[in-house]
Structure 1
Amino acid sequence: MSEPKVMLVTGASKGIGLATVIQALKGGYAVAATSRNVDRLAAEVAQAAPDQQAQFLPLEMKFEATSIQAAVAKVMARWGRLDVLVNNAGYAILGAFEEFSLAEVKQNFDVNVFGLMQMTQAVLPIMRAQQHGRIINIASISGTVAGPSQSIYSATKAAVIMMSEALAAEVAPFGIQVTAVGPSGVRTDFLDGRSMKRPAKTLPEYQVVAQTMTGLGQLNHHQSGDPVLVGQAIVKLAQMAHAPRRLYLGNWSVATLQTKIEEVVNEVNQHLDLTQSIDHE
């Protein structure tokens, strides 16, 4: 009997991360899952997917290189291989751009971008030695299509998408595939106060942001996306022979993306003379 493939999932205690862990376990993977609260995570998994091969690793969202290396070392010590990394840990900070302090911006980038990068760098030597591996980075449709209140969060997710595309080209010769996943709204607690943050100061002048936040509050727990189905999609993605470099999830995600593409094409065409005016003849 062959050894199961091993998947490492960060930010696994709830939402998309927890759903991915459960679906991967049900699909026959051995799963190493990180969380700030491993007891809660273990209880959730034991209820949904008992008697499966799971490993629970404490890891703060504010990643540090030493703690990341220690977590990866524990995975290798137990399983001796690592086939799939799902970088899921992250959060949104939403508000008007002028409201954010630099510390708040740095904290969001530390988790959403730099922590993800450090985890990816920690597993790449293993996957290169194996000559195979899958890296799945959970981004967002907000990394491609932004709106009021999303300037910082969208910037972090755009960084994830573009880094993933460049990395995919670099590691393809080693049999490693990389995909950035861009879900639209998923019915989790992502927009709750314990998951979504606001800047410490707010400016009443930004009515468009206030209106957006009101709309998001009404959307909370009414999003169209099902986290269980997202988890299933991620497991299917991990099993694809030829994975896409971007995978958008959700009807709203696709509709918004198509509208955005049309807007970009129209703007480029409107200013094509100026665009083409700067090259040497």
Structure 2
Amino acid sequence: MRSAWVVVLALVAGLVAPVPAMAVVRSPGECATSLECTAAEIDRMTVAQRLEFLRLVQSGPAAGLGAPDRWRNIEGVLAFFHDHGLGTPGTWISHVDAAILEGIERGVALALGRSTDGYGNPGSARWAAYLSRLHRGELTVRNEHDRAWSEAEQASTEHGVAMAEQLHGLRPTAVERRFFLFSEFYRWSLRNRPVVLDLLLIYGALLNPVLILRRVPFVDWLTDVRESTPSRKGSEMAYAYAQLDPVNGAFSTVDLLFAYIPELFEEFQATR
């Protein structure tokens, strides 16, 4: 009889005991409004949700800082991920991407004075500095703008790689690593515009003779962060080339230039 009462009391205790709350899942709209979603939360989003989130950040809080379209190039990459089933939650690509988006989100929050917490993401402070300078009208020179933008994204990207590999124990596949090198080349191009123009002057005749004459407007188009087409098209090409296995498993800067530029220049000519 006593054992029966023990069972009954245990059942009653189970009914009245507090149930651990499930993790709150915030929508892209809620994240864009609050600017408080962590990289872990963003990692749980689908790529389509991340794209919605980024667009809402731009059209919402970032617009007040004069940045309603400063991450369209990232939109292009996200659209590419969506088309190819890449960046699913919990993967190496997803964690790196989540850190990039977290840095943007927290950078906007910092620049607006809503918070002083960058969530441990070194890109947050850099994005805040970029946005503050942009809002004050200090980034009207293309070289200066692109360098500030690239340095902010680079900081968040490196943080994302560290989080994926050191915290979550993930490693990219060989194809993902080579694709990542193309993204590194893109950010490097933003920081080194004069060098890119010089390289195109030297190698342009081998790639496309017309490229020498149109290299300045081409580089302007290719590195315009307000455009989604170059990054989306570039991602398509980069992923195709990344599936090749180069000698020694690595690309040099010139290899990347020869692989990346010709088809993108054709795309540029078709749109201009």
Q: TM-score, normalised by structure 2?
A: 0.32
Greater C-alpha Rg: 2
TM-score (norm 1): 0.32
